[in-house]
Structure formats: C-alpha cells, structure tokens
C-alpha cells in the first residue's frame, strides 16, 4: 500500500509539472504581447517580460488611427457577421433536407457537399471565376467566398444534430396543416437552436481569422478586414512592436471575448464531429 | 407522408449552388487549365498536353520541392500534435487540480488568427533581439540560441514548431472529450485487476480512442496540406524556398503571372485530396446515426 500511494504521488506530481510547463509555454508569448502593447516607443526594440516603465494606454488609439482600424473593424464585422448568418441559414436548411430524405441521390449530394471540407481551393482559377462574376474587390464577393468555404463543415455539423430530432414531430405538424416552410421555421429551427449557435460561433471565428481570401481578392485598403490591416501595418512599422502588439490585441479581442463567452459551444462543436458517444 | 414534398429539394439549393460555383467549379476548371500555357503575358491559350505536369514531376525546377515540403510539414506536425495532444489529454482528463484552467489556456492559441500568431513569433524568434534567444542567453545556454527563421537548416523546423505550439491544444481538447466518453467502469475493473497506469492507457484508453484519433488525424492532415498563413507570416517561403509550401508558391506564381504553373500544382493537390478525401470523409462521417 505504501508503495502504491508513493507511486501515485509521483504520478500526480509529474502530471502537474507537465501541465504547468505546457501552460507556461502558451502563456509567455501571450503575456509578452500584452506587456509590450503598453510600452513606450523606445522600449520594445526587443520584446521582454519586464513591466512597462510607464503604461502608455494611448498606443491603442495611436494604432487605431494610423492603421485605420475603425474601418477595418467594421469591415471584419460585416464579412464575418453577414457571412455567418447566410452560411448558417442556408446550411441548416440543406442539412435538414439531407438528413430527413435519405435517398441514394440525397446521400450522394450530402457527401458531395461534405467533401468540401477536404478539397483545396484553386486560387488561380478562383480568381478567374471571381473576375467573371464581377465579385473581385467587393463586399458580397468576400461574403460569398466565406459562405462557400464554411458551408461544408457547417452542413456536416448541423446534419448530426438534425437526426436527433424525432421525425414524429414533422408528421404531427404536417397533419396539423403546416407547410414545409412553416414546419422548418416553427418546429425544426427552434429545436436546432444549440446546433445553430455552435455552428454560428465556429463560422464567425473562422471568418474573422481568415486572411487568404482578402489577400487575393481585396485591393482597396478601405475594404480590408482586421487581419489584412495588421499584416500591412506590420510591414510599415516593423520595428514598432508596441504598436504592433496593440494592434494584435485589438485584432484578437473579438475572438477572445467570443471564446470566453462561448467556450462551451466552441469546444462542444469541435468535439461533436470527432467524438461519437 | 411524402418526403419529397415535406422536405423540398430547394431547401438545399443555396448552399449547394454557392459551394459548387466558388469551390468545385474553380477546382475542375483548374484541372482543365493545367493542360494549357495560360499566363499573364499572352492573351492566347494553347493546349500543351501534360507538359506542365511533366515540368512539376521532372524535378528540373523547385515545383516538386514545394509539394514535398507541404507533405513533410503535414507529416511532422500531425505526428507531433497527435503525440503531444495525447500526452496532455491523458494528463488533463482526470484527477488534476486546475484542469479547466490548463485546458482553457492550451486551447486558446487555436482560436487566434493564424496570421497574427505567425507575426508575433517573428519577433520572438528574431536571432538578435528575439525573446527566445535573449532568454537562452540569460540562462547560460548561448549555444542553443540559433537563427531560428533565417538559418536554412532549421528554418522549416522552426515554422513547424510554431504550428505545433498553435495546434496541439485543439487536438488535446478533442482527445479529452474522447477520453471522458470512455465509461469509468472499464478503469474501475482494470484497477481491481491490478492494472498499472501504463496498462490502463495501453489496453483501455488507446483502443477506445481509435475513432477520435482517426478524426483528429484527418482534420490535421487537411489543415497541414492547406497551410498558408503561418508560413507566409513567418518566412514567406524563405530562406531560398527552403520553407516554401504549395500555397505560398501558388501565391508567388500568381503575382508573377505564371497562371498555368500555379493551377497545375494546385490541381495536383486537388486531385490527390479528392481521392484521399473520399476516405477521409468516410472516417469523419462514420457511425453517424442512421434510422
């Protein structure tokens, strides 16, 4: 018995050392960004963990002004917000039909859509497609691209939830005289609420963090989202790490807040696809 | 109840249409254009057969290296993230104080924009002024202070390391959910039989995690083969194409007007992914409830 308790103690000790080591490895770079965001201009030639000699809160307003971040923030909100709403709206309807009508054809169509999680984008011909459709350098262009990219995973995620809603509900509603649209809007959609929120949060995160589509398809700086804005700011002010760190914080703030508030949904959604209980 | 009336096909129209036009069609068009001499310098298109593909696979230029780099990046990061993720998941799933704190912190990097993570690490890994080398010098390990992103020998390793830093917590989170879904009863029975920690891991946790592990590996492979932001921010393919991956190469070809070359290597990835993707999607959709 003495042996096993000692053994257990060593095990717990090792586990804790490992956990703290890993957490520190993640915390230090984040702390580095936060501390340096408040330092004065000359202090950040090399970023270190010393506290700022003087806390300069105006770094944030400086960077917002120089990097035109107010505009970019609104742009990012529009791209990610509208992109999320239309993606989730259409994807949930598609997932519902795929899940309810299990014919051979519909199953193939579902596989065809879900295959989109895997297939890579061909940016060369996508550029041609976007030009042909007159979508390059436009707000609808980016929003539709985000929808195309996020649809497969969103359909996949919601599909799993639809099958948990009993079909008997649909039958009852139809007998009571519901039209297909009423059935979906009044009965099914409310029951999918938690799936919709999960899919929506994940979709928003991905769209907010997206960088490549704007890089390829947005040429005028007044349409740039936060990610593209920070990349260009970084190019212009390469040595001013205090300002870059402030920009990093402003760019990450919305996703961090979303993460803190919706952790349950984010982790739940990511694991729903992976773990089948 | 007539299913085709109650669940009308046009409910799926919006999603399928946009996905087809902006994702599938460019992919298929790309295969077509791979057989031409499409470029920014001439308005005419000529059919040139498999010439572009020969150019990629003959190894005369660097194109093949961009593909092998991408594959290497994927293999190394998948193994490292899965191994470390599994280690942390086992440590953080049961019987540990502050587990929610650790889990929350480790997951955090995967919600941040990849580009931003890359930018921050260009400072941390700077050979002269970077935090990592300053720290190594402070604790007297000067010989470990390397030119992380500049030295051609280790630059790609550094890029992979940053990506592992970013992605391990996400894999860990999926695996923790998988471990917690294993009924306690198995562990209790094993404890009564006198199984030690390693045996419990080897004969209960690992076999029961097979499906979750398969899914995490698939998700990681998909992510790795499409990597762009991380490399673009850290090295932009340098030094001397040492860290060039497929998507950074395509971006450069696009800006040089080498459309046919860009679409050819994109199509190689596209064809490869559609073939293995079919099996990957089978793994992802396995065990779904079917009435």
The stretch B199-203 carries a mean pLDDT of 90
| Residue B14 burial (CB count, 10 A) | 18
With 50 as the cut, is the pLDDT of residue B291 above it?
A: no
The stretch B171-200 carries a mean pLDDT of 89
A121 vs chain B: nearest CA distance in angstroms?
6
The stretch B123-150 carries a mean pLDDT of 88
B261: in domain: yes
Q: Which pLDDT does position B287 carry in this prediction?
A: 58
Closest CA to B187 of B93, B276, B49, B256: B93
Whether B120 sits inside 8 A of A147 (CB atoms) is no
Tens digit of each residue's pLDDT (9 = 90 or more) over A9-46: 888 888 899 999 999 999 999 999 999 999 888 777 77
Q: Which pLDDT does position B197 carry in this prediction?
A: 83
Closest CA to B94 of B213, B212, B179, B189: B179
Q: Which pLDDT does position A3 carry in this prediction?
A: 52
Q: Which pLDDT does position B1 carry in this prediction?
A: 65
- Report d(CA A246, CA B23) in Å as an integer: 36
If one compares B77 and B291, the residue with the highest pLDDT of the two is B77
For the ranges A234-248, B72-86, B151-165, the lowest mean pLDDT is seen at A234-248
Q: Which pLDDT does position A275 carry in this prediction?
A: 60
Nearest chain B residue to A239, by CA: B123
**CB-based contact (8 Å) between A15 and chain B?**
yes
Whether A119 sits inside 8 A of B129 (CB atoms) is no
Q: Which residues 17-36 of chain A have a CB within 8 Å of chain B?
A: 18-20, 22-23, 25-30, 32-33
B22: in domain: no
Q: Which residues 195-214 of chain A have a CB within 8 Å of chain B?
A: 205, 208-209, 211-212
B220: in domain: yes
Whether B27 sits inside 8 A of A267 (CB atoms) is no
B9: in domain: no
Tens digit of each residue's pLDDT (9 = 90 or more) over B15-34: 999 999 999 999 999 999 99
Give this complex's ipTM. Answer: 0.89
| Residue B136 burial (CB count, 10 A) | 16
By the 8 A CB rule, do A91 and B15 touch?
Answer: yes
* Rounded (5°) CA angle B243-B129-A225: 60
B262: in domain: yes
Residue among A20, A96, A275 minimizing CB distance to B178: A275
Closest CA to A146 of A193, A204, A186, A103: A204
Ranked by mean pLDDT, the top range of A2-11, B58-67, B214-223 is B214-223
Residues 6+ apart with CB under 8 A from A39: A52, A53, A56, A59, A242
If one compares B241 and B80, the residue with the highest pLDDT of the two is B80
- Positions of chain A with pLDDT under 70: 1-4, 273-277
A148 vs chain B: nearest CA distance in angstroms?
4
Whether A208 sits inside 8 A of B113 (CB atoms) is yes
| Residue B245 burial (CB count, 10 A) | 28
Tens digit of each residue's pLDDT (9 = 90 or more) over A148-191: 999 999 999 999 889 888 888 888 888 888 888 999 988 899 98
With 90 as the cut, is the pLDDT of residue B168 above it?
A: yes
Whether A163 sits inside 8 A of B9 (CB atoms) is no
B33: in domain: no
**CB-based contact (8 Å) between A178 and chain B?**
no
**CB-based contact (8 Å) between B266 and chain A?**
yes
Report the CATH number that the domain containing residue B205 is assigned in CATH. Answer: 1.10.3720.10
B148: in domain: no
Domain count, chain B: 1
Q: Which pLDDT does position B146 carry in this prediction?
A: 85
Q: Which pLDDT does position A277 carry in this prediction?
A: 39
B66: in domain: yes
Which domains, from first to last, does chain A contain?
67-236 (1.10.3720.10)
Q: Which pLDDT does position A2 carry in this prediction?
A: 46
Q: List for chain A the helix, strand, coil content (%; round to 5).
A: 80, 0, 20
Q: Name the residue range of residue B257's domain.
A: 62-111+158-284
Closest CA to A162 of A188, A198, A201: A188
By the 8 A CB rule, do A129 and B26 touch?
Answer: yes
Whether A151 sits inside 8 A of B267 (CB atoms) is no
Indicate the burial class of A99 (C-beta count within 10 angstroms; 0-12, 13-18, 19 or more): buried
Q: Which pLDDT does position B289 carry in this prediction?
A: 39
**CB-based contact (8 Å) between A144 and chain B?**
yes
Nearest chain A residue to B18, by CA: A148
């Amino acid at each position: 018995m003495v042996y096993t308790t000692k053994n257990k103690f060593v095990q717990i000790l090792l586990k804790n050392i490992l956990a703290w080591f890993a957490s520190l490895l993640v915390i230090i770079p984040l702390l580095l960004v936060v501390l340096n965001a408040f330092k004065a201009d000359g202090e950040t030639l090399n970023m270190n963990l010393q506290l700022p000699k003087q806390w300069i809160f105006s770094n944030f307003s400086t960077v917002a002004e120089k990097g035109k971040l107010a505009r970019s923030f609104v742009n990012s909100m529009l791209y990610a917000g509208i992109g999320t709403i239309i993606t989730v709206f259409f994807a949930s309807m598609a997932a519902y039909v795929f899940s309810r009508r299990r014919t051979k054809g519909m199953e193939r169509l579902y596989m065809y859509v879900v295959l989109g999680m895997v297939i890579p984008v061909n940016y060369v011909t996508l550029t041609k497609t976007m030009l042909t459709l007159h979508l390059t350098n436009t707000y609808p262009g980016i929003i539709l691209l985000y929808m195309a990219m996020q649809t497969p995973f969103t359909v996949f995620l919601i599909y799993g939830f639809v099958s948990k809603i009993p079909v008997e509900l649909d039958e009852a509603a139809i007998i009571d005289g519901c039209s297909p649209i009423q059935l979906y809007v009044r009965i099914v959609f409310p029951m999918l609420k938690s799936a919709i929120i999960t899919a929506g949060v994940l979709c928003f995160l991905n769209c907010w963090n997206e960088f490549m589509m704007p890089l390829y398809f947005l040429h005028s700086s007044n349409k740039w989202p936060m990610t593209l804005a920070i990349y260009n700011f970084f190019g212009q002010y390469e040595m001013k790490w205090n300002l870059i760190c402030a920009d990093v914080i402003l760019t990450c703030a919305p996703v961090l807040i979303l993460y803190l508030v919706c952790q349950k949904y984010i982790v739940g959604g990511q694991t729903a696809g992976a773990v089948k209980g | 109840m007539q299913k085709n009336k109650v669940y009308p096909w046009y409910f799926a129209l919006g999603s399928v249409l946009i996905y087809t036009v902006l994702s599938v069609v460019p992919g298929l068009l790309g295969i077509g254009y791979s057989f031409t001499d499409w470029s920014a310098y001439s308005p005419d298109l000529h059919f040139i057969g498999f010439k572009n593909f020969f150019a990629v696979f003959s190894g005369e230029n660097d194109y093949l290296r961009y593909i092998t780099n991408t594959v290497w990046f994927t293999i190394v990061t998948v193994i490292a993230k899965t191994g470390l993720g599994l280690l942390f998941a086992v440590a953080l799933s049961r019987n540990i104080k502050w587990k929610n704190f650790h889990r929350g912190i480790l997951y955090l990097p995967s919600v941040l924009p990849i580009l931003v993570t890359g930018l921050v690490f260009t400072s941390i890994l700077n050979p002269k002024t970077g935090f990592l080398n300053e720290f190594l010098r402070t604790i007297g390990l000067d010989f470990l202070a390397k030119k992380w992103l500049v030295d051609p020998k280790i630059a790609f390793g550094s890029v992979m390391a940053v990506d592992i830093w970013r992605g391990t917590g996400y894999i860990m989170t999926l695996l923790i959910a998988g471990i917690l879904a294993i009924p306690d009863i198995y562990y209790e029975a094993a404890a009564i039989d006198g199984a030690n920690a390693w045996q419990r891991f080897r004969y209960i946790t690992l076999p029961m995690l097979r499906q979750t592990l398969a899914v995490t590996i698939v998700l990681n492979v998909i992510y790795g083969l499409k990597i762009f932001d991380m490399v673009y921010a850290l090295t932009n393919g340098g030094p001397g194409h040492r860290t060039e991956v497929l998507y950074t190469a395509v971006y450069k070809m696009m800006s040089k007007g080498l459309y046919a070359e860009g679409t050819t290597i994109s199509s190689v990835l596209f064809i490869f992914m559609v073939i293995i993707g079919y099996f990957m999607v089978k793994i992802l959709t396995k065990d779904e409830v079917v009435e």
